[in-house]
Structure 1
Amino acid sequence: MASQGPFAATQHENTTDSSPLLGRRRLLGLGLAAAASSMMVPAAAFASTGSSGDKTLTFYNTHTDEKLKATYLRGSSFDKGALRDINHILRDFRTGDVFAMDLKLLDLLTELHWKTGSKQPFQIISGYRSPKTNTMLNAESSGVAKRSMHLDGKAIDIRLSDVKLKTLHETAISMKRGGVGMYTASNFVHVDTGRVRYW
């Protein structure tokens, strides 16, 4: 298989870098991540962005320098290994806690990436957030909700290096798939699968 740069695919098309943290992903993420990967959601519930029905996401964790390319949906079946890897790279980097990310959030990201025309990975600012981390951040900033959707694996803060922040924000809003917020000073956009609202 030909190389595709830093996200060259393996036989499962799920790749990570050689970070020691990712080397322990099977141990750290076995519990909740395995539960997430066993969820079977009808493929019809998700919008398709390709003729094959396969869905692939690429991520770069700005805090840990980890990279991931994972095809989490193949036709009508979810790839358990890919979901475990996605849950791991989106973990709370402060505590190492891994959580079952909302499959609808992954679908939202897949469609958002396609609609923006981006060729770059999503840069992760914040994925899952543990209660401990959320309490700490809430005490430090009024911009962090006490009952954040990050706690439920239903929110992510992102940027794309080849898409203007305003364009990313406006594209997410146009999808009407949940909450969308722009944080210009910190250079990221928040998206979640809650009720439709914008800021």
Structure 2
Amino acid sequence: MSMITTSRRGLLAAFASTMVVAAPTMSNAFGILRGAGDIRRIRMYSGRTGESIDTIYWIEGNYIPEALKEINLFMRDWRTDQVKKIDARTIDIAAASHRLMDTNEPYMMLSGYRSPATNAMLRSRSRGVAKNSLHMQGMAADLRLKSRSVPQIYAAATACHAGGVGRYMRSNFVHMDCGQVRTWNG
């Protein structure tokens, strides 16, 4: 099931040949992509739900509320179907990292928002799940790409200097969040 709205299709077509920019909004964010364009786009799919999203969520300095709502729904806790507002800074970091890797492949999202119940269940199964995970606040995403290695995704996300980045080699994903700037190996 695709989550691209009809109203988005026109925007996507109009900006298809435009440089996509995804610089984070945080004041300490990197300047690699600043000034290179005026739109931000995110592309992801979920192997758990079969859903995908490909949306422009920011144009000329403004977030698009309808697009952010689509992202919130897409990044919901698929186990409980609970939706939480996703911090746009997390999307900015993921989009900026994606842009740095110069790929058209959408991210596979393994985890976005997690309800407290889901987080507790995952924590009981793995010591790599934080008790007060930023996933529960809508501030984190676990992502992978088929065409890029975990070290490549990790390097791109780390280059943003805009949040937490965790490398999970055994599970083949990178955690990105809009919390304090920090890195770790899971």
Indicate the TM-score class for this superposition, using the shorter chain for normalisation.
0.7 to 0.9
1:196 aligns to 2:181 (yes or no): yes
Aligned residues: 167
Mapped to 2, the partners of 1:148 and 1:160 lie a distance apart of 23
Match of 1:94 in 2: 79
TM-score, length basis structure 1: 0.76
Give the superposition deviation at 1:85: 0.7
Mapped to 1, the partners of 2:80 and 2:125 lie a distance apart of 17
Match of 1:35 in 2: none
Give the superposition deviation at 1:110: 1.4
For the Cα contact (< 8 Å) 1:127–1:157, is it kept in 2?
A: yes
Q: Which has the higher relative contact order, 1 or 2, with Cα contacts under 8 A spaced 6 or more apart?
A: 2
- The structure where helix makes up a greater share of residues is 1
Q: Deviations over 1:150-182 (max 9, x none)?
A: 011111000112212111111212222111111
Unaligned stretches of 5+ in structure 2?
11-24
1:61 aligns to 2:57 (yes or no): no
Name the Cα RMSD after superposition: 2.5
Match of 1:12 in 2: 8
Pick the aligned partner of 2:151 from 161, 166, 169: 166
TM-score, length basis structure 2: 0.81
Q: Deviations over 1:35-83 (max 9, x none)?
A: xxxxxxxx79687567441111111012111011111112122212111
Q: Tell me the amino acid that sits aligned with residue 117 of structure 1.
A: D
For the Cα contact (< 8 Å) 1:128–1:153, is it kept in 2?
A: yes
Mapped to 1, the partners of 2:128 and 2:135 lie a distance apart of 13
Mapped to 2, the partners of 1:176 and 1:126 lie a distance apart of 21
For the Cα contact (< 8 Å) 1:157–1:189, is it kept in 2?
A: yes
Match of 1:151 in 2: 136
Runs of 4+ with deviation above 2 angstroms? 6-11, 43-52
Match of 1:22 in 2: none
Mapped to 2, the partners of 1:77 and 1:149 lie a distance apart of 25
The percent of aligned pairs where both chains have the same amino acid is 34
Mapped to 1, the partners of 2:73 and 2:170 lie a distance apart of 27
